[in-house]
Amino acid sequence: MKSYKSMSREELLALQAELEKAYIDAKGKGLSLNMARGKPCPTQLDMGMDILDAIKATDSPITPSGIDIRNYGELTGIPEAKKLMAGMMGVNPDNVYVFGNASLPIMYDTVARSYAFGVCGSTPWCKLDKVKFLCPVPGYDRHFAITEQFGIENIPVPMDENGPDMKMVKELVESDPAVKGIWCVPKYANPTGITYSDDVVKTFASLKPAAEDFRIYWDNAYAVHDLYPDDKDELLEIISECAKNGNTDMVFEFCSTSKVSFAGAGIAAMASSENNLNWAKKTMTIQTIGYDKINQLRHVAYFGDIQGIYKHMSKHADMLRPKFEAVLECFDNELGGLDIAEWTKPKGGYFISFMAMEGCAKEIVAKCKEAGVTLTGAGATYPYGKDPKDSNIRIAPSFPTAEEMQLAAEIFVLCVKLVTVNHLLAA
């Protein structure tokens, strides 16, 4: 196909007329499709319904480790659940606490206790003149919202196919004591779908932070979410790498079964050093008497171990893969060679990152909405909602059916073409 940038004005005007007619036809279909958030679809949720039968009223409420799951106690989770979640993260169960139904509240609480009480004896962030967090971009909007709510300055760090720009990360972390953390989604990153390279992980592990209370917030949300189980990305385990470099306390790692079992009723965990976990436990003893041990044991009874999780997630992959492939095939067929956009081709996770021509993202999202296709707001993948190039759009293929996803992709591509042609003519 001919590059739009090489077209004459007459060719662009003819193409504009053709695209506008197609867009009017698309609006007339009265569609209502949602690609805004990475939600599991009902079919995925149906796959795990029998987890509700994993524990019956007639079963013993006493765990193999001797804990009565109906009662108070075991603030940091039952040992069996720690072992299950340790398997997801590839760490020692001794380094794991199990919390409630999702990892986002754990991350929020970790920032909150750092702000109010300080990290492991350091000065509380609320008493400091300035606190900064590094934010790989494009990235996860909910991460950025947490630190923004606490008045922490979010600093964008560019991403490439290997992970964050580690030269920039190293320079900022090692020179500025106000930099207290960095948000990371290291495997199948939200929204780019890339997995951090071994070199990136090793550079993280060898950092020499200017701040003693600097921590890496390692949100391993997609640890087992492979679209191609036989050709999956492998992520180097960071906690052991940090230990090799004498940085035992530098990482908080988070994960959950939110997109494994049920998004509203999974279990979530944090892995870290003994020092960090004991620090968290001090406030947890005031915050709660304990989390849902019945649900923890339910997950253990259902999945058994990490192999059980892999087996279950292979079913998710079989259902999700055609949706991703339908979108990517549409992009390749309709946009390939036009020189107007780029997009990622992830091997797992929940998102495709689309980079439109500079200055076009907001208008594309608006056009899609007008045609009945809802997308994540343009700019959401950057701190404060400000994409400096107005280029990135996050595509979430999981919730619609494969047929709906194909249709939504076609509408999206049409809007990309029309908006781009309009911008080229205006220029």
Question: Can you give the residue ranges of every domain in the chain?
Answer: 4-44+310-426, 62-304
At residue 30, the pLDDT reads 87
Cβ neighbors of 98 (< 8 A, separation 6 or more) are 76, 77, 78, 81, 82, 85, 267, 268, 269, 291, 296
Express each pLDDT in 100-136 by its tens digit: 999 999 999 999 999 999 999 999 999 999 999 999 9
Query: Which CATH number does the domain 4-44+310-426 belong to among 3.10.100.10, 3.90.1150.10, 3.30.160.100, 3.40.50.150?
Result: 3.90.1150.10
At residue 1, the pLDDT reads 77
DSSP one-letter string for 83-110:
HHHHHHHTS-GGGEEE-SS-SHHHHHHH
Cβ neighbors of 34 (< 8 A, separation 6 or more) are 373, 374, 399, 400
138 preceded by a cis bond (ω within 30 of 0): yes
At residue 276, the pLDDT reads 98
Fold (topology level) of 62-304: Aspartate Aminotransferase; domain 2 (3.40.640)
At residue 33, the pLDDT reads 86
SS3 state of residue 295: helix
pTM given for the model:
0.96
pLDDT lower than 70: segments of the chain? none
At residue 34, the pLDDT reads 85
Express each pLDDT in 17-46 by its tens digit: 999 999 999 999 888 888 887 899 999 999
At residue 82, the pLDDT reads 98
